[in-house]
Amino acid sequence: MTDMAPIIKPGIKPDIKPDIKPDIKMEIKINGRKIVAREGQTILGVAKENGIKIPHLCFHPALKPSGSCKLCGVEVASPSGKQVVMLSCILKVKKNLEINTESVLVSGHREKSFNKLLQMAPDSTRIRNLANEFGVAVTPPPNGCIRCRLCIRVCNEIVKARALKMVKTEEGSRVMLGEGNCIGCGTCANLCPTHTIQVNDQESVRTISIKGQIIGQLPLEWCEGCGKMYATANFLKHVAQSTLNHPDTKEHHHLCSSCIKLMSNRALNEGEHFRK
């Protein structure tokens, strides 16, 4: 008969720790606390058994450790006596080994390791939550803004609402509410090359926001032609005021751009008809 794979019954764990010798015990110290460990155990395994938390992401009990994420670093004295960081998912217990999981050295190592992982996966909530759980300050996720200032420039130079400005924060420069008031024209969103600024028209209200930060929230007006919501009252008022003395201004209307086009086409056709 050929060798058969062991049958794993539900509720019975496979032997995934073949290196551990339960009979050979030794004392180690973690954070000054004396702990009895079994030969072959990893520091991460001993810590877990004893309720000592160490962050880790690439460790899986059914697989050999790979040491990829580097989050599980702990402080240990090297043979030369120097304190160094070693990966607890790989480091095996040794008699009288002294481990520190909360030292300054470990905190620095964790911060570096978390930020390195976040460079590869900036939106990972799992990594961010884990960093938060261990009190590690990590760089915030990028919001998509490339600091081109098109939104601010158009709002200042053309719309003249001065609703946006660039503010230096701990997390870098960010577009924020300026000294003026947003009139809800949406020009900033139209120009934004990365779609960081969003316009959302819902239930007769227009909301302009930058990744959740609301810049303006204004009621919308209906087009007198087709009845669609098309512009904010503040924007229409702003246009009326700013074009009041313009020589080309004829009369102010409440029509969307499609209806204006229709009206001018009609006027054109009627004019032609009249000329015939």
Closest to ligand FES by CB, 91 vs 188, is 91
**What DSSP string describes 126-178?**
HHHHHHHHTT---PPPP-S-----HHHHHIIIII----EEEEEETTEEEEEE-
Nearest CB to ligand SF4, comparing residues 146 and 260: 146
CA atoms within a 13 Å half-sphere pointing along the CA-CB vector of 251? 4
| Residues constituting the chain | 276
Binding segment (CB under 6 A) for ligand SF4, from list 6-14, 102-110, 112-120, 139-147: 139-147
Q: Which is nearer to ligand FES, 66 or 204 (CB)?
A: 66
Judged by beta carbon distances under 5 to 8 A according to partner kind, the member of ligand FES, ligand SF4, none in contact with residue 72 is ligand FES
Q: What is the DSSP letter of 179?
A: S
Beta-carbon contacts of 37 under 8 Å, excluding residues fewer than 6 positions away, are 25, 26, 27, 28, 46, 93
Pick one of 50, 68, 125, 200: the residue that binds ligand FES (CB under 6 A): 68
Block residue for tokens 């799992």: 126
User: Is residue 40 within 8 Å of residue 92, measured between CB atoms?
Assistant: yes
Quick one: 28 or 197, whose CB is closer to ligand FES?
A: 28
Does residue 114 touch ligand FES according to CB under 6 A? no
Two tokens, residue 31: 């954070």
**Residue 69 near ligand FES by CB under 6 A:** yes
Query: Quick one: what does residue 227 bind among ligand FES, ligand SF4, none, with the CB cut-off 5 to 8 Å set by partner type?
Result: none
The answer to whether 164 and 176 are in contact (CB under 8 A) is yes
- Cβ proximity to ligand FES: between 69 and 152 the closer is 69
Question: What is the rounded CA–CA span in Å between residue 259 and residue 257?
Answer: 6
Of 67, 122, 180, 225, the one binding ligand FES (CB under 6 A) is: 67
Alpha-carbon span 186 to 218, nearest angstrom? 11
CB closer to ligand SF4 out of 76 and 155: 155
Q: Which does 223 bind (CB under 5 to 8 A by kind): ligand SF4, ligand FES, none?
A: none
| Of the candidate residues 121, 146, 158, 268, the single one contacting ligand SF4 (CB under 6 A) | 146
Of 140, 133, 136, nearest in space to 119 by CA: 140
| Binding characters for ligand FES, 76-105, by CB under 6 A (x = yes) | -----------x-x----------------
Binding residues for ligand FES (CB under 6 A): 56-59, 67-72, 87, 89
User: Interface residues with ligand SF4 (CB under 6 A)?
Assistant: 145-151, 175, 191-194, 196-197, 210
